[in-house]
Amino acid sequence: MGIIEKMRLDGKKGFVTGAARGIGKCTATAFAEAGADIAIVDMDLETAQVTAQEIAQATGRKVIALKCDVTDETQVQAMVDMVVEQLGGLDFCHANAGICINAAADEMTYAQWKKNIDVNLNSVFLTDTIAGRYMLSHGGGSIINTASMSAHIVNVPQPQCAYNASKAGVIQLTKSLAVEWAKRGVRVNSISPGYIGTDLTLSSETLKPLIAQWNAMAPMGRLGKPEELESICVYLAGDTSTFTTGADFGLDGAFTCF
């Protein structure tokens, strides 16, 4: 069997949170293209259903849509149970849901801080540990977390201390779980994207003035594309990455190199 065949995910089952659009939609599509059955998990069930239908028609895989507030332990447990029931198991997941609240630290409310930490960090803990318990008791699996280059640098000019702190926490959580579960068959890794040109980013009137500044600072002089994150996620979800755990993969066009 050649390396391309080994990279496939035939027979595997997984889910992606925040998958109705953007990065999550791209990685869910890639997982299905590689042969996996996938659950599209999002708060926006209507868009998730459209995304699931698109991916299923394009790939021929079983793709379902599930609504879940990833900050709610009961809902995350119910979502994982439904994935297992409807897809027939759980081999990997991509904890991708997140938000960014741009507010100066001296003006930010505590409620804004807590919301950012809850969605970006606490939800990853819930997703990882609930999915991880299933994997630990069923022979293993792979967990992929979306961190950010903002875990490594302080972005400018936008003020986003809560986002930066939450994503740094994701990386340390990733490493901690990877070490705890290293001998028990569950691998945990993270990806740290740079500025990515999702439809939401490109259409935002608030972000449009910042994009030119970001591109001027970027060694490649451009935003990344969501599809440029796909291959690393397929690698991490599959069986060619069985010695890869506790790693954070920078996908930022060298933005954090200086």
Indicate if the pLDDT at residue 164 is higher than 80: yes
Average the pLDDT over 242-247 and give the result: 98
**How confident is the model over 169-195, as pLDDT tens digits?**
999 999 999 999 999 999 999 999 999
Burial degree of 150 (CB within 10 A; 0-12, 13-18, 19+): buried
Cα separation, 224 vs 37, whole angstroms = 27
Which active-site residues does the annotation give? 148, 163, 167
Q: Domains plus CATH for the chain?
A: 3-251 (3.40.50.720)
Paired strand residues for 141? 186
Residues in the chain: 258
H/E/C letters for each residue in 51-90? HHHHHHHHHCCCEEEEECCCCCHHHHHHHHHHHHHHHCCC
**How confident is the model over 39-93, as pLDDT tens digits?**
999 999 999 999 999 999 999 999 999 999 999 999 999 999 999 999 999 999 9
Stated pTM of the model: 0.96
Cα separation, 102 vs 159, whole angstroms = 5
User: What pLDDT sits at residue 206?
Assistant: 76
